[in-house]
Structure 1
Amino acid sequence: MYCGFDYGTSNCAMGVFENNEPQLIPLEGEKVFLPSALYAFSRDFITEGVAKSIQDEIARRSYIESRKAILTRAQRVRREEDYQADDQVVFYGREAFSEYYSYPDEGYFIKSPKSFLGGSGLRNEHIRFFEDIVTLMMLKVKRAVEIKTGKTLTQTVIGRPVNFQGIDAEASNKQALDILMVAAKRVGFQDVEFLFEPIAAGMDFERRLETDQTVLVVDIGGGTTDCAVVRMGPSYREKLDRTGDFLAHTGERVGGNDLDIQLAGKEFMPLFGMGAPLKTGLPMPTQLFWNAVTTNDVSAQTIFNSLETKKQIDELRLDTTTPALIDRFAHLREHKHNFHLVRNSEEAKINLSEMSETQIPLDYIEKALSLTVSRDQLGAAITPPLEKMMQLMSSAIEEAGEKPDVIYITGGSAKSPIIQQQIRERIGDIPVLDGDHFGSVASGLTVWAAKIYK
């Protein structure tokens, strides 16, 4: 059986074809979207989980041999912590967030692993570890769908951004796609194809078009923003070769996560001393604070968690006129609350799609601590990444050489009135239509899977 698989930066979704329509399958209770997050009591349990899941005996033995030292450590942790063979030690989605909030400094937590794929400077051990993380996430989704449908999934179309990273895009894309392919094969997919995510979103939109149109599809995902200018409609949708219909595409590593990070840095981090005066009259160094909230960057997180950063925080406490704020920052770092803080920033962004002001409780940091954020503050905070998104849209139209009839926007962050207003102001007098902000890519991937695997 075939499926469309949106292995997203923020959420995962999977669709199958039923009654001649793409249907997204519930992955977590009745919810069809599984947050892209994983929490393990020990980092080594991730590799252990992959070793247990590989069905092919030859492949399993080869994998175990390649991860022998890690698997030995996992067994040692089990003995020392008295974990039994059937104890749950790895959690996914909302459960992963719940466990991380309860035990932030005791286990290993990762959110949006897709945002790390294709990163420059990753050593072989990093790549292999990301293969393991992606494998377990894919396995969780695939098994949930197989249980719901009662069928074995062997063929899939997986969504991909135009570019995973901005530096050395060709090498970056190859590395990321190789990781996704390794994971997909490990979990049992025999046939795997990749499709640009904005094109997938466009295919979902195309099912409802009654006339032919040139469409600018804008997919603002968690990790990337991707645009495609596509001719679509009744004359095109039955074609298998759509190469000539895709007039242009652009994409860059700037997405919803970057909006969350900008808001966290500019509005949340002053609560932790960012911008506070020093006794010398010099400005407070800011990079420490940005490292804390840049949770989609391996290097930033490595530096933030280093002993050198701890020493710098201790020195800042002596130099600042507001030591209580630096103590709060030290507490944030010591207890690994920075992912929680960025999640709060994301919640504020989501709330501000519906309201002009929102209050976010931060009592896990300090009793009665909270922050009120307005839509205007959000708009000011996200100006740099929003400008990049607008440039990508303009570049796609310029590359296509013709003005689109309509702009179709999808992706979670595309719900923001700030973003929609910017599109209308910057791109011009073109109708802007909202899509299924979370499900259009998965539905389009499923449509394409039905075409190529039937």
Structure 2
Amino acid sequence: MPFACGLDFGTSNSTMGMVSTGGAPRLLPLEADNPTIPSVLFFSFEDDLVHFGRAGVAEYVAGVEGRLLRSLKSVLGTALIGETTRIKVRSLGFLEILGIFIAEIKRRGEVQLGGPIDSVVVGRPVHFVDDDSQADRNAENQLREAVRAQGFAHIDFQYEPIAAALDYERQAEREQLALIVDLGGGTSDFSVVRVGPDLAGKPDRSDDILATAGVHVGGTDFDRLLSMAEVMPELGLGTTTRDGKRHLPTAPYYDLSTWHRINRLYTAKTLRDLRSTRREAQQAERVDQMIAVVEGRQGHRLIGAVEAVKIALSDVDAIEFDYRQGAVEIATPITIAQLSEAIAGSVGRIADTIGATLTLAGINAAQIDSVIMTGGSTQLPVIGRTLASYFPGANMVRTDVLGSVGLGLALDARRKFGRGVA
């Protein structure tokens, strides 16, 4: 019999979950022994193969000529979904590229299980696109189309924070009111849910979901904001022309700091524009560094170094950003205070959305028993402080930050399709 699974296709990382016949969910190892696989494709121009996940990142970092694509989930529901990117002599649409990645996850899952997977519950953010219901519907339909094209016959969706709640419920000892905080790579989602051991077996949990809300802010936004605040100035952002009358154009720096927009820079026109900017720049040597990054197609490597600093600042108060690649040399200290300042506006939007979620649920913060945190960005100190100040009386629970959604989706797939793993 074909298998059913839960698929957490994330902006930064993806997982596939299954439920055993004993009822316990597990994540399938999708890359060596790892239950997570970075949502990355690298189209190698040297061996004409597509490399996925960590292997794709390794090819790119090693300097293999090719095209790296990441954060593809971020283009769903936007105008970018209709664009194409050049892969040697081919032009591939982003929806087609997204399908290539999903097909590879399905293939790897079927290898692990020794049989076909035909049914799937796919995780989705509460809002793919903020304040645009039509774009949000378009995004879900686009993801459904990409999933169906890979051979899944039965497809359902579940909100990612609800999936995290289903996973947490396995350890809940009493009925409680929980706020699920899911801060992923591309979105932040929140749900107020009743959870408890006596509720887990209910076939319909709609009455237990008091409210859901979300905002299009996530870890990749934090990367962009940190890059724009502390790294892009080293390449000329914020400097002026020689006459002091104009600041240099910000658009190329924004694209270089945004994961899914980086490949847009790799055109002859961009280089012409940057060279023209350099001729007018007061600090031409900084623009030279920017040109070297674009000429060497180092964008993903550079923003990856920014991401690494962001992650490191979860454990230390300060770190040296030290990037050296070819003609590009960037060295500047970055502190946790600078990171907190850079992302303060986005953290404020997250706090506002939490407040809106409570309002939708008709409750106040004091009524929340537990705050269930999932998603890598919940590990940032500023996020932890914000949640602790908002819910001083709640139990703060850290789940498997990268795996809980996939595990919950597996439980939902078992409930909806009635199949487990022998």
TM normalised by structure 1 equals 0.84
Q: Which has the higher strand share?
A: 2
Distance 2:32 2:190 in 1: 32
- What is the match of residue 170 of structure 2? 207
- What is the match of residue 53 of structure 1? none
Distance 1:151 1:260 in 2: 39
Offset of residue 31 of structure 1: 0.9
- What is the match of residue 374 of structure 1? 335
Distance 1:367 1:294 in 2: 19
Offset of residue 176 of structure 1: 2.0
Offset of residue 217 of structure 1: 0.3
Kindly report which structure 2 residues correspond to 1:334-413, keeping only aligned pairs within 5 A, or say none: 334-366=295-327, 369-402=330-363, 403-413=367-377
Matched residue SS, 2:213: strand
Q: Percent identity?
A: 31
- What is the match of residue 6 of structure 2? 4
Query: 1:130-158: per-residue Cα shift (whole Å, max 9, x none)?
Result: 33212211121122122122232111111
Offset of residue 213 of structure 1: 0.7
Distance 1:373 1:281 in 2: 28
Matched residue SS, 1:98: helix
1:162 aligns with 2:126: yes
- Which runs of no fewer than 5 residues in structure 2 stay unpaired? 86-90
- What is the match of residue 27 of structure 1? 30
1:146 aligns with 2:110: yes
Kindly report which structure 2 residues correspond to 1:48-447, keeping only aligned pairs within 5 A, or say none: 89-103=49-63, 106-120=65-79, 122-123=81-82, 129-166=93-130, 168=132, 170-282=133-245, 284-285=247-248, 286-297=250-261, 302=264, 304-305=265-266, 307-366=268-327, 369-402=330-363, 403-447=367-411
Task: Kindly provide the amino acid, as one letter, of the partner of residue 39 in structure 1.
Answer: F
Query: 2:15 aligned to 13, 16, 27, which one?
Result: 13
Distance 1:121 1:189 in 2: 25
Question: Is the Cα–Cα contact under 8 Å of residues 83 and 94 in structure 2 kept in the other structure?
Answer: no
Question: Is the Cα–Cα contact under 8 Å of residues 319 and 334 in structure 2 kept in the other structure?
Answer: yes
Mark the CA change 1:249 to 1:365 in structure 2 (over 3 Å): closer, same or farther: farther
Give me the CA root mean square deviation: 2.3
Matched residue SS, 1:202: helix
Query: 1:52-106: per-residue Cα shift (whole Å, max 9, x none)?
Result: xxxxxxxxxxxxxxxxxxxxxxxxxxxxx8xxxxx551111112112223447x4
Task: Kindly provide the amino acid, as one letter, of the partner of residue 177 in structure 2.
Answer: T
Distance 1:398 1:432 in 2: 21
Distance 1:30 1:133 in 2: 25
Query: 1:405-432: per-residue Cα shift (whole Å, max 9, x none)?
Result: 2211110111111111112224554332
Mark the CA change 1:429 to 1:319 in structure 2 (over 3 Å): closer, same or farther: farther
Distance 1:27 1:453 in 2: 22
Distance 2:266 2:76 in 1: 21
Offset of residue 359 of structure 1: 2.8
Distance 2:209 2:328 in 1: 54
Mark the CA change 1:103 to 1:143 in structure 2 (over 3 Å): closer, same or farther: same
Task: Kindly provide the amino acid, as one letter, of the partner of residue 20 in structure 1.
Answer: G
Mark the CA change 1:128 to 1:229 in structure 2 (over 3 Å): closer, same or farther: farther
Query: 1:399-454: per-residue Cα shift (whole Å, max 9, x none)?
Result: 10113222111101111111111122245543322111100000000111111111
Task: Kindly provide the amino acid, as one letter, of the partner of residue 339 in structure 1.
Answer: H
Distance 1:230 1:323 in 2: 55
Mark the CA change 1:343 to 1:124 in structure 2 (over 3 Å): closer, same or farther: closer
Matched residue SS, 2:204: coil
Task: Kindly provide the amino acid, as one letter, of the partner of residue 299 in structure 2.
Answer: N
Offset of residue 238 of structure 1: 0.8
Distance 2:322 2:36 in 1: 25
Matched residue SS, 1:353: coil
Distance 2:135 2:161 in 1: 19
Distance 1:443 1:122 in 2: 29
Matched residue SS, 2:93: helix
Question: Is the Cα–Cα contact under 8 Å of residues 294 and 301 in structure 1 kept in the other structure?
Answer: no
Matched residue SS, 2:347: helix
Matched residue SS, 1:20: coil
Matched residue SS, 2:117: coil
Question: Is the Cα–Cα contact under 8 Å of residues 332 and 365 in structure 1 kept in the other structure?
Answer: no
Distance 1:225 1:342 in 2: 21
| 29-38 or 92-101, which deviates more | 92-101
Matched residue SS, 2:171: coil
Question: Is the Cα–Cα contact under 8 Å of residues 215 and 406 in structure 1 kept in the other structure?
Answer: yes
Distance 2:245 2:263 in 1: 26
| 307-316 or 11-20, which deviates more | 307-316
Matched residue SS, 1:238: coil
Mark the CA change 1:432 to 1:248 in structure 2 (over 3 Å): closer, same or farther: same
Name the count of aligned residue pairs.
406
Distance 1:316 1:128 in 2: 31
Question: Is the Cα–Cα contact under 8 Å of residues 120 and 172 in structure 1 kept in the other structure?
Answer: no
Task: Kindly provide the amino acid, as one letter, of the partner of residue 234 in structure 2.
Answer: L
TM normalised by structure 2 equals 0.90
Distance 2:329 2:303 in 1: 19
